[in-house]
Amino acid sequence: MQARTTERGPAGNRGRRGRAACMMEAPQYRPWSDLPPELLGLVLKRLPSLADRVRLRAVCHPWRSNSLLQPLPLPFPWLTLPDGTFFSIPGGEVHQMCLPDGARCHGSIDNWLFLMRSDDACTLMNPFSKTTLELPIPLSFWQRIHGEYDPKQLLYKLVVPSPLDISPDSLVAALIKDDDNIGTVCTSQPLIATYSVQGNSVHRFFDAALFDEKLYAVSVFGQLFILELCRNLDSNSTINRVIDSSGDFHGGPECISREVAFTYMVYLVECAGRLLVVKRFIRRLSPSPDDNIFDNTQTPGFVVLEADLHSNPCRWKRISELGGHALFVGQHGSKSLPARECIGSQEDCIYFICDYPHPKYFFESIS
């Protein structure tokens, strides 16, 4: 009996010591919800994708509340695709938003989607809060000015002087144009059913942007106009041409031979206190069987010009740097962001989307 007791005793002691050790180690494994906020912040700062940040916040309530307290760099912006979906560059993901029945997305401005219902009524909707604002843009005026045209085939770009999240009664300027680049600007107020129309086929507005609290529009030929933004939409607004198309506007980048045929797109965007026009040059690689000039093309280069509004006369001048910013350009909207504040973006780079004005010109790719 003693022999057996002596023989088994050490094993029994080891078992008790092992169980005691396990009990001592158990408290070291804390739940993920107890992750210190500073470590959570380090993880978030390494996520350039907005979708990834949302997924992290959805893990548990402590992570959600703690993540809202973290000072984070701007996430890489989503690009609005012509079919109303959204493309995330870091992860290469395409996202869809739930839209009201019968509504179709025709663009966006900041956090708001520009929707058109089946009856051609226009609405702004915040896809996160689901807040909606009726936008009084009576598209019947387009038929009166330019003849019959399907409103759903037109291209729309919105410009606001004040963020709609803060000022829902802000003026909204909508550049509306067809695939012949005939553009008209309609200014309206979401909370007041009133509007005014500026421009006609003579001006041929191609893009518009807000700069120094003034609304500017550029033609495809390089003419720059300033359009009066007036809250009294019943009054007659004025349009003044401030830059002619002479000077540095004409001509392509050095990488394109003068013998090569090309077309170009024009984008107007504010960047670091400067008003810029970006010319994206498009070259056909081979003839298209259906005469679609945008089939089988590439973008070999850009020309970026600054509006020198202090010279006499005002003029365009070429620039070779963006001051550490990144540009995101498209026909539905353009934006500049400091690259150091937007995780994942590169300084002095231009990100663009192939969003041509008519459905037969739509590209699937993002560049």
CA gap 106, 155 in Å, rounded = 7
SS3 content of the chain, % helix, strand, coil (to 5): 20, 35, 45
Q: What pLDDT is attached to residue 288?
A: 59
Question: 92 Cβ partners below 8 Å, 6+ apart?
Answer: none
Query: Quick check: 309 and 348 in contact, CB under 8 A?
Result: no
Per-residue pLDDT of 147-180, as tens digits, reads: 556 666 677 888 888 888 888 888 888 888 776 6
Q: What pLDDT is attached to residue 155?
A: 78
Q: What pLDDT is attached to residue 150?
A: 67
Helix (H) or strand (E) holding 151: none
Q: Which of 158, 215, 139, 198 is nearest to 331 (CA)?
A: 158
Q: What pLDDT is attached to residue 332?
A: 84
Which parts of the chain fold into alpha helices (H)?
2-25, 37-45, 50-57, 61-67, 140-146
Query: Quick check: 319 and 304 in contact, CB under 8 A?
Result: yes
Longest dimension (CA), the chain: 113
Tell me the β-bridge partners of 271.
274
Query: Quick check: 307 and 243 in contact, CB under 8 A?
Result: yes
Per-residue pLDDT of 323-345, as tens digits, reads: 999 999 988 889 998 988 777 78
- Lay out the sheet containing 349-352: strands in order across: 335-338, 325-329, 349-352
Q: What pLDDT is attached to residue 293?
A: 54
Q: Which of 342, 138, 314 is nearest to 218 (CA)?
A: 314
Query: Quick check: 48 and 74 in contact, CB under 8 A?
Result: no
Tell me the β-bridge partners of 108.
113
Helix (H) or strand (E) holding 271: strand 262-271
End-to-end CA distance of the chain: 84
* SS3 category, 100: coil
Q: Is the peptide bond before 48 cis (omega within 30 degrees of 0)?
A: no
CA 105 to chain centre: 14
Name the stretches of the chain with pLDDT < 50. Answer: 1-8, 357-367
